Amino acid sequence: FSDPFLNRRRANDFIQADTRLGAISQERIRERNKSPQERQKEICEDYYPCDLYAFRHGYGAAYRHYFGRRRNK
């Protein structure tokens, strides 16, 4: 019969170190490559009138309202 509880010092022994490092590096890659929607949201958050408009209508509509017309010129 073995003890069902793990020793505190050995609790993470079943996780391999290289797997954790690989997961951390993948997360860093995902942070560098942002989706267009996330970039648009950040741009809108930096511009106060756009942020207020987004509170009522959503970030997609706010970005199109304040920044969408600039692309068509």
pTM equals 0.53
Mean pLDDT value across the chain: 81
Question: For residue range 20-40, what is the model confidence (pLDDT) as tens digits?
Answer: 677 778 888 877 788 889 889
Alpha helices in 6-72 (DSSP H): 17-32, 36-46, 48-57, 59-71
Q: Is residue 33 a contact partner of residue 18, using CB atoms and an 8 Å limit?
A: no
4 Cβ neighbours under 8 A, 6+ residues apart = none
> Is the Cβ–Cβ distance between 69 and 45 less than 8 Å?
no
Task: Name the token pair of 22.
Answer: 């690989």
